[in-house]
Chains A and B, each alone.
Chain A
Amino acid sequence: MCHQTVSLVARHLEAHGIPTVIMGCAKDIVEHCGVPRFLFSDFPLGNQAGRPFDVASQRETLELALSVLESAPAARTTVQSPLRWGADAAWKRDFNDLSKLSSEQIEARRREFDVVKSVAKGKREEA
């Protein structure tokens, strides 16, 4: 949802004269929405600005984003960072993967999510 939110905000700012760049990890969501400029890092969600405790990777990620901001020739410019999360890409299989869960565990996930939904709804109505 975060990637969709910033994509919609970037579109609004851009339409009102403020050039934008997004640094993100969810390529499909950002490109599906359609944004002016996007630096894509192929990292687990939560590391949009670089690796934990790795200042060099954070600097490189920011510098790439700034270069995209400066030099994108047209809307829908995506640049993919050359940085890799690890030597292999096995981590990509795990996100929202239910294949290793039993039906009881899936049922428990459902109950947890029902709670999350109702808490979020309460917070929304409060706001």
Chain B
Amino acid sequence: MTTTALDTATAVAAEHDVPIPYMQRTRDYYLALGYGNPYRWAHHVDVPFTPLPMPLSQARLALITTAAPFQPDAGDQGPHAPYNARAKFYKVYSMSSDVTPDLRISHVGYDRVHTSAEDINTYFPLARLREAVSAGRIGSLTPRVHGAPTNRSQRVTIETDAPELFRRCQEDGAEVALLAPT
């Protein structure tokens, strides 16, 4: 039997088939591990909004990532690597966007059960962005990509890292930005 539009529209999804409630899961997880004082996630009422100043086909785009540059002396950072705090970084970095940098995600809590970080293009879309520039979809890329440190301290992110990333975006003449967490 073929699926009709009506079947699709009326199909009922499983109860648990919702976006994972990460904040609740994380809270429950660390409480179960015996840590008190659950983390308070960043929460804001007002959200800034800047309309696009030009068509995307004329805009210069900056890519910002939370992936970490590979550090040869910092232990296993490859696919399937366990959580590796030694591979963390705590300062904003920049790298040329002309070549694909060697960026890894062993320093963060990605889903190690259901994915393996074998393909950089799943978390760092530079190759796809270059294609979009070639196709005329985006005007150009900034000469550098920028790395944002994942700091538990919201104050450090807001007062130190975000202004530094903005400064570098400005330096590069960025007109729009794509942010890819890991």
Interface positions of A (Cβ within 8 A of B): 1-29, 32-36, 40, 42-53, 55, 58-59, 61-63, 65-66, 69-70, 74-76, 85, 88-89, 91-98, 106, 109-110, 112-113, 115-117, 119-120, 123-124, 126-127
User: Which B residues touch A6, using CB under 8 A?
Assistant: 64, 66, 148, 179-181
Question: Contacts A91-B113, A92-B20; is A120 near B85 (CB within 8 Å)?
Answer: yes
Question: Complex: how many Å from CA A58 to CA B162?
Answer: 27
Question: Complex: how many Å from CA A28 to CA B64?
Answer: 21
Do B176 and A123 have beta carbons less than 8 Å apart?
no
Question: Complex: how many Å from CA A63 to CA B34?
Answer: 43
Do A46 and B56 have beta carbons less than 8 Å apart?
no
Q: What would 9 A/B residue contacts be, using CB atoms closer than 8 Å? A: A22-B178, A23-B179, A46-B117, A48-B181, A66-B56, A69-B56, A88-B14, A91-B114, A127-B91
User: Which A residues touch B23, using CB under 8 A?
Assistant: 28-29, 32
* Nearest chain A residue, comparing its CB with the CB of B67: A2
Instruction: Provide the B76-97 mask, 1 if CB < 8 A to any CB of A, else 0.
Output: 0000000101101111000000
Query: Of A14, A26, A95, A106, which is within 8 A of B113 by CB?
Result: A95
Query: From DSSP, what is the main secondary structure of chain B's interface residues?
Result: loop
Question: Contacts A9-B157, A44-B114, A49-B128; is A106 near B33 (CB within 8 Å)?
Answer: yes
User: Which A residues touch B43, using CB under 8 A?
Assistant: 32-34
**In the complex, B169 has a CB within 8 A of chain A:** yes
* Nearest chain A residue, comparing its CB with the CB of B125: A49
Question: Complex: how many Å from CA A54 to CA B128?
Answer: 11
Do B182 and A120 have beta carbons less than 8 Å apart?
no
Interface positions of B (Cβ within 8 A of A): 13-14, 16-26, 28-29, 32-35, 41-53, 55-56, 62, 64, 66, 83, 85-86, 88-91, 105, 108-111, 113-119, 121-125, 128-129, 131-132, 137-138, 148-152, 154, 157-158, 161-163, 165-166, 169, 174-182
Question: Complex: how many Å from CA A82 to CA B29?
Answer: 29
Question: Complex: how many Å from CA A19 to CA B56?
Answer: 11
Besides A13-B165, A92-B16, 18 more A-B contacts (Cβ < 8 Å) are A4-B154, A5-B66, A5-B150, A6-B179, A12-B158, A29-B22, A44-B113, A44-B114, A52-B121, A58-B125, A61-B125, A65-B178, A66-B137, A70-B52, A91-B111, A95-B111, A96-B25, A120-B88
Do B110 and A5 have beta carbons less than 8 Å apart?
no
* Nearest chain A residue, comparing its CB with the CB of B154: A8
User: Which A residues touch B179, using CB under 8 A?
Assistant: 6, 9-10, 20-23
